[in-house]
Amino acid sequence: MRLKTRLIHAGNQSDAQTGAVTTPIYQVTTFKQASADMEQAYDYSRAGNPTRTAVEQYIADIEYGKYGFAFSSGLAALSAILMTFRAGDHFIVSNDVYGGTYRLIKQVFHQLDLSFTFVDARNIENIEKALQPNTKAIIFETPGNPLFTVIDIAKVVEVARKHELKVIVDNTFLTPYWQNPLELGADIVFHSATKYLGGHSDVLAGLVVVSDDTLAEQIALVQKAVGAVLGPQDSYLLLRGMKTLGIRMEEHEKNTLAIANWLEKHPRVQKVYYPGLVSHPDHELAKKQARGFGGVLSFEVNEGTDVDAILARFNIFQLAVSLGAVESLVSVPSRMTHATIPPEEQAKLGITPRLIRLSIGIEDVNDLIEDLAQALQ
């Protein structure tokens, strides 16, 4: 079955009881038991809900995994993954990660006696140098955020296998439509499904996919015990959004590539960060391990440019955090999505106050370019 067809029919979405062709919203917390001793599929919605089950089966199917898990946010999903490890464990993390991931690691899990070393994971030697006797996993997102560095998943997996480490990949930016880390050897894939998978800025959700039975048991235990699960209403919205993922991702990418090429020629733009550009240093790697380049880019304006004046002139692009929805958004990573990263660390990474990130929507690309042109005047 081809991917666009899988996106419509993945998982088990029809309702066996009524014949409904889409999964109903099971807005219920508890389920009648046949007896006090008999185990059944559902007893309490923290442990499982039919609408959430449909989401979990769906994401496992389109990520080519065996088990899916739905959480109340992307960071709740990552938290559940980290909770399967033990105090004293060490992790190697790519330094180009979402600011919320950085905050979760540094301000929450670091206090729980997990340790983390941030490296430029594009260079495999950096990963090997960061290895410690207690290292248990490598965590990264590719492409990175907000500079869109691309990490070679297969090469990281090769190092991880040599040292018996888990590989954990955030696939939010490319989604299963463009990239499948499990197929490249990763152990765990997670998503902020709030972004492209939902696609309409109306649902907060996180997803995890694995194929290993033991990992699945561990994550299932955390999911049930902690209870940061996706509710039935949000599960329904997410299912509905994911069915159009293919046509949306193609439109996002088409618009983004056109805008990236336009920005490269603009006199007020110093640099454009988008792996779909031939000028991007990781362009060939991105082509090798993914089928597309996504719908988000960043660009740096020239020194002396008033960034706030640019932001104030936008008419179509809306100043907001998040990304991946049908409408176009603009943000300043240094002050918004990555504000929790100390300024000195931002400077090392190349996140300057002049860096602007665009999440390109599915509007008419000519309207978007005209809006950029007048904002950059």
Give the tens place of pLDDT for each residue, 138-169. Answer: 999 999 999 999 999 999 999 999 999 999 99
Distance CA 307, CA 355 (A): 9
Q: Which of 26, 58, 98, 102 is catalytic?
A: 98
Q: Which domains does the chain have, with CATH numbers?
A: 3-242 (3.40.640.10), 245-375 (3.90.1150.10)
Active site residue 313: no
**Predicted local confidence at residue 39, as pLDDT:** 83
- Angle, in degrees to the nearest 10, between helices 232-242 and 50-62: 30
Distance CA 276, CA 295 (A): 10
Q: In the predicted model, what is the mean pLDDT of the chain? A: 96
- Check: CB of residue 245 under 8 Å from CB of residue 271: no
Q: Which of 166, 195, 354, 357 is catalytic?
A: 195
Q: Which of 46, 103, 271, 313 is catalytic?
A: 46
Q: Which residues contact 180 (CB under 8 A, 6 or more apart)?
A: 63, 64, 171
Strand order in the sheet with 188-192: 67-71, 206-210, 188-192, 166-170, 135-141, 90-94, 115-119
pLDDT tens column, 170-208? 999 999 999 999 999 999 999 999 999 999 999 999 999
Q: How far is CA 64 from CA 176, 274, 369, in A?
A: 9, 26, 37
Distance CA 186, CA 156 (A): 9
Strand partners, 44: 30
Active site residue 42: no
Distance CA 138, CA 324 (A): 25
Active site residue 46: yes
pLDDT tens column, 218-265? 999 999 999 999 999 999 999 999 999 999 999 999 999 999 999 999
pLDDT tens column, 354-377? 999 999 999 999 999 999 999 999
Q: Which of 61, 89, 152, 170 is catalytic?
A: 170
Q: Which residues contact 259 (CB under 8 A, 6 or more apart)?
A: 297, 358, 360, 365, 368, 369, 372
Instruction: Return the H-helix or E-strand segment holding 237.
Output: helix 232-242
pLDDT tens column, 317-350? 999 999 999 999 999 999 998 998 889 989 989 9
Active site residue 195: yes
- Check: CB of residue 364 under 8 Å from CB of residue 254: no
